Amino acid sequence: MAVYALTGFSLVSLLSFGYLSWDWMKPGLVADVATSPMEKSLPPAFARPPHIIFILTDDQGYHDVGYHGSDIQTPTLDRLAAEGVKLENYYIQPICTPSRSQLITGRYQIHTGLQHSIIRPRQPNCLPLDQVTLPQKLQEAGYSTHMVGKWHLGFYKKECLPTRRGFDTFLGSLTGNVDYYTYDNCDGPGVCGYDLHEGENVAWDQSGKYSTFLYAQRVSKILASHSPKEPIFIYVAFQAVHTPLQSPKEYIYRYRSMGNVARRKYAAMVTCMDEAVKNITWALKKYGYYDNSVIVFSTDNGGQTFSGGSNWPLRGRKGTYWEGGVRGIGFVHSPLIKRKRRTSWALVHITDWYPTLVSLARGNLSNVPGLDGYNVWPAISEGKESPRTEILHNIDPLYNHAKYGSLEDGFGIWNTAVQASIRVGEWKLLTGDPGYSDWIPPQTLTNFPGSWWNLERLTDGLRKSVWLFNITADPYERYDLSEQRPDVVRALLTRLVHYNRTAIPVRYPAENPRAHPDFNGGAWGPWASEDEEWEGGGGDPPKIRGKKKKCKICKLRSFFRKLNTRLMSNRI
């Protein structure tokens, strides 16, 4: 196995800087308080259902939090995590829509038809309307439900909107990424529109306000106007720290010594988001919610390394099924936790929040059979063993098939050209094309010129379509054991076959020209009739009158697409 570093650094030399000094499996981190056999499990003996605040950040890299050794300042997240329970065996999905759909439904992508890519602005597609969502279950349990931030679960007709899927109120964007100040989003040359909505109306009057501040202020207003005697659920889906890289100047100034410009702006955005979380926590205390609250913090996918993010020392990045794409930052902070101030290595997946939070709310799960998530509150609060033993990361039949995969390589039971990944116990299997596979160190080392392409690479595997790792012993995915353990490979392929038999058809319709914002007054929003099926999309679009809006960020987005193409052409 040939190992080389484009910058002249090896893994050993990086060890000297301490970047791999964090001990993933240090016994002292697993349990530092004895569990009493007299402690009771769920349902918890809370005086009343707890207030639930779920905070989701966008594209925040695994390395990009203070307690993971980052050079980025996140004092609020560090304190909340230290006083609560850090989840260091926590998994999310590699891109936006999949993570959000699994959080909201408690189901794997293969069970909602969203197993391929994301929902794009012009697609007649959204979270399946037959799915009972997390906020709907919480409404049934007597909760007031509110969403602030990024939706990205489809909006082609009104039934798809957050206020029709269980949220009493909504302030945020419907598409995947917008300008942090103007809220413009371009989905290609000349296809630009405004995307900030209040309920089901366009919030034109909020333009010019930095979204991270705006969203935190909205959470404070919601708390101020609600009674702490009544349970409340607030889903805060920050736009930060997704591109475009924009931050108030005072935050950028703190990182003026960083040589990498993208990393500097990205760091500023992370710190700004950290302060927004501080303000939300302060509001919980000010208005009397904190003592009976549960705060969950989660990232939605791995960091995008050529946009300032870092997943070091994990392999891969956003959009891949390597650990750098699917292992997330996660913690729970709550006065109601029985065993606080510890790190948990219990296996947890983003689908687990659905049954966990509904159970905390004393809701009814009997009428939502077939959930892929588990109630992990006893593992979080009491340090008990996680009920989860495996995770289907995904099966994507539409993704580009690996050139060297075959049914023969999959023991005649699985076509290894298909992109798929699964973890069972300590073993992780990847087939097909798992995505860009390098290890990219933090882009601020003195000896690095501050460029995203300074990385270490393994050059074996150019003709592979199957990888196997003991992810417990080898969390950095450096030692492929697929040839040494064909028995394990076959066993995990059998599990993929099992899951694939339960999959529903992929929902990924063609884009519809009727979605153009110019047909909707210059804003992104629903365009289909209520009785129109998602497969639809025909019909001639109305004529556009007047001058088309200029796409301000399309050139930059085109640059990143070309950059990503060049990276992918050199992948393993």
Active site residues: 96, 152
- Residue 300: C-alpha distances to residues 93, 98, 102, 448 (Å): 7, 9, 10, 28
Q: What residues have CB less than 8 Å from 359, skipping those under 6 apart?
A: 42, 43, 365, 375, 377
Rounded to whole angstroms, the Cα distance separating 233 from 223 reads 10
The answer to whether 112 and 127 have CB atoms below 8 angstroms apart is yes
Collapse the DSSP code of 115 into the 3-class scheme (helix H, G, I; strand E, B; otherwise coil) and give the result: coil
Q: How far, in Å, CA of 467 to CA of 479, rounded?
A: 9
Which tokens go with 41?
A: 């499990």
What letters, b where the CB count within 10 A reaches 16 and e where it falls short, cover 527-559?
A: bbeeebebebbeeeeeeeeeeebebebbeebee
Measured at the CA of 238, the angle between CA 520 and CA 565, to 5 degrees, comes to: 75
What is the spatial distance between Cα 77 and Cα 273, in angstroms, rounded to a whole number? Answer: 10
Specify the pairing of strand 456-458 against strand 419-424.
unpaired
What distance in Å separates the CA atoms of residue 143 and residue 363, rounded to the nearest whole number? 10
Residue-level length of the chain: 572
Residues 6+ apart with CB under 8 A from 37: none
Integer Cα distance of 170 and 162 in angstroms? 7
Please give the single-letter amino acid code of residue 448: F
